[in-house]
Amino acid sequence: MSERPMWKPMRPEELFSRLQLPFVAGVTFVVIAAGLAVPSLWSAGPVLAGVGLPYAASAFFLLPQRAWLLTPWGIVVPLVDIVALALLRASLFPYIPTVGVLCLMPFAWIALRYRWQALALVFLGGLLISALPLLLQVESVSTPLMVLNLLTLPFLTTGISVGIHLAVRSFRRSRQEVEDAARRLQANLEQSRDDEMVLRTVLDTVNGAVAFYNAEGRPVLANRAAHKLTGVVGFRFDEAPYAGPHVFKADRKTPVPCAEQIIPRALRGDAIRNHLEWFGQPGDQVAILSSSGRVHRSNGELLGTVVAAYDVTDLADAIEAREEFLTTVSHELRTPLTSVVGYAEQVIDILGEDAERLGIGTALGAISRNSEVLLERVSQLLTAGNKKMVLAPTVVDVAELVEETVAVMVPLARQAGVALSLECDENVIAELDARRIEQAVENLLTNAVKFTPSGGSVSVRVTHVADGDQVRIAISDTGMGMTADDARRVFDRYYRATAVRKNAVQGIGVGLSIVKSIVSAHAGDVGIESEPGEGTTITLCLPRMREPVAPAEDFALSA
């Protein structure tokens, strides 16, 4: 909360204009008027001193360093004014006896600005103003009337000053109370705003969607995730009936009637705890885990209903991918290991040193081949299991790098009956890790050739992005393609598309996840476009000049 006082402290300029200037103006007026009436006063020493001292005291306000006037040392100015007034009154008493009324200005100054002990100076100053004419005339105070004349001014001015001082103290106490109350109100207001901001920030920070409906069932509050989720589930949380047609039970197949979906049930008062439903059409579904609760006042009156929903699609997919991974690894490792063990036993049984003579050359060849397959699988698993990726970026010609990689893949494509083509822009220069990008492109080409039937084609295009800050590598094939579900999960570690599993295509599902890790480590993006039976296009967007980034947390490729 900002500390902004309700009253500004007085500045030296304000002190002069409010207290000193009126006194100087009064003295000037009195002296001019008296001089015009009695010209001999122009040359009187006390009159000249009485005029000069206030002006001299006023000169303090012209000094560059004048903040001391607001400290206790500032009392020098009203004291000088009191002495000046005493001299004037001593000279002008026979002509203008009321000149002493000007003492209210310096006395008020003392009463306003200083502690109560300073009021003693007011009494002494009044006594000086009253007594100086008698002292200059060398008259003794011999009668009660003279004593009364001597003491009247000090007592009256002291009484007035005491009243001013008490009023100022009372005002300051009242002002302090008002300021304290204002600060408390401001603090409460700021706290209320802070609480509102914290609540809003907390709601917008959590990954889950949170919405609050009042007792009449109307939406009152929804966080950012709730608004974002409306585009995923196919209906709005803030418009009745708060339900949609494409909602399924946990089996992804059984539809849920609108009246039995999450929000309508919650508004009816049903207690919902971690209820899972799938939203969206088959092939492009998201899993939503929801809970709800009723909000009541202390007297039991219903305030409304809170609904919380979480997109747990990744978690649901991860569970499924884990099972698929275990199955895949079992099948992929079991076959080569069985071959290795079987042929190893055969070698032991034959007990021969000359493999060709004994007829086990083919067996040893099979052992070698399957050992290489096993080594490749294990190498991929180790690669996918690493947690750090360290890049060695250099400035390279991306077109030339991709061209060399494509040349390596030409024999494999020719063997599979797939046409492989390349199109590159000129001077596609970027700062990147050539070995990593080569590995990513090789993985993509291997997949494209593997999943494209004979007679199909794979095309590679290397271009500049329009703004010139990125390079784009696009690899398109005319293969089997994939569903939206597969496209969303294809970069997940160990995930294999449904069609791949059905066709028993070899692999353990880490190639594309490695590609994504490489591109992410370069601060780039990976995009995919695919339709079942139409083919797939995977695009790598890489910055031309790489900014320093921390090592990627997904993978470390130790090839």
For 433, which DSSP code?
-
DSSP annotation of 389: B
The tokens for 139 are 């008259």
* Inter-residue contact 297 to 303 (CB < 8 Å): yes
Tally the C-alpha atoms within 13 A of residue 141's C-alpha that lie toward its C-beta.
14
In this predicted model, what pLDDT tens digit does every residue of 355-390 receive, in sequence order?
566 666 666 666 666 666 665 665 555 555 554 567
- Whose tokens are 């593997």? That residue is 450
According to the model, what pLDDT value does residue 389 have?
A: 66
Q: How far is CA 145 from CA 89, 95, 140, 142, 341, in A?
A: 19, 20, 12, 9, 137
- For 187-201, write each residue's pLDDT tens digit: 888 888 888 788 777
Q: Which residue(s) pair with 429 in the sheet?
A: 397
Contact criterion met (CB below 8 Å) for 456 and 421: no
Name 289's bridge partners.
Answer: 276, 310
pLDDT at 337: 59
Q: Tell me, what amino acid is at 512?
A: L
User: Tens digit of pLDDT per residue, the chain (559 long)?
Assistant: 444 444 456 687 888 888 888 888 888 888 888 888 888 888 888 888 888 888 888 888 888 887 887 888 888 888 888 888 888 888 887 788 788 888 888 888 888 888 888 888 888 888 888 888 777 764 555 677 777 777 878 888 888 888 888 888 888 888 888 888 888 888 888 888 888 788 777 777 777 778 888 887 787 777 777 777 776 666 666 667 777 777 888 777 788 887 787 778 888 887 788 888 888 777 777 888 888 888 888 888 888 888 888 778 888 777 677 656 655 665 566 556 566 656 656 665 664 556 566 666 666 666 666 666 665 665 555 555 554 567 888 898 888 999 998 888 888 889 889 899 999 888 888 898 888 888 889 888 988 888 888 899 999 999 988 676 889 999 999 988 888 888 888 887 667 676 666 655 666 666 787 888 888 888 888 999 988 888 899 999 998 876 654 444 443 333 3
Which pair of tokens denotes residue 324? 């698929």
At 340 the pLDDT is: 64
Residue 538 is classified by DSSP as E
Cα→Cα distances 5→8, 174, 179, Å: 6, 14, 7
Q: Which residues, other chains included, contact 509 with Cβ-Cβ below 8 Å and sequence gap of 6+? A: 324, 325, 328, 492, 493, 494, 495, 496
Distance CA 521, CA 432 (A): 10
The Cα 160–Cα 146 span in angstroms is: 22
Structure tokens at 96: 């203008």
pLDDT of the residue at 183: 85
Looking at residue 88, what is its pLDDT?
A: 85
- 305 close to 266: Cβ distance less than 8 angstroms: yes
Neighbours of 68 (CB within 10 A): 13
pLDDT at residue 555 in the model: 36
Task: Work out the number of other CB atoms within 10 angstroms of the CB of residue 320.
Answer: 12
What does the block give as tokens for 462?
A: 């290397």
Task: Provide the whole-model pTM.
Answer: 0.42
* Separation CA 460–CA 403 (nearest Å): 9
Find out whether 325 and 507 touch, Cβ atoms under 8 Å.
Answer: no
